[in-house]
Amino acid sequence: MAKRRPYPSDLSDARWELIEPVLAAWRFERRGRALDFGRPPEHDLRDIMD
């Protein structure tokens, strides 16, 4: 996917550093409960939050 241009509402790097560990743990936990069925995540978590 091509990089999109940044928007003023995008998260700063400092804010992303605070949020990313929580979201990554959530995603890991959800994948663990799914017994690895389905496709791996297609979208970057930061892109979703921005």
| pLDDT classification of 16: cutoffs 50, 70, 90 | very high
Quick one: average pLDDT of 34-38?
66
- As a whole number of angstroms, the distance between CA 10 and CA 49 comes to 8
CB environment 8-39: b (16+ within 10 A), e (fewer):
eeeeeeeeeeeeeeeeeeeeeeeeeeeeeeee
What are the structural domain ranges in the chain? Answer: 13-35+44-49
**All residues at 6 or more sequence positions from 50 whose CB lies less than 8 Å from its CB, including other chains:** 6, 7, 9, 10, 11
pTM: 0.66
How confident is residue 28, by pLDDT bands cut at 50, 70 and 90?
confident
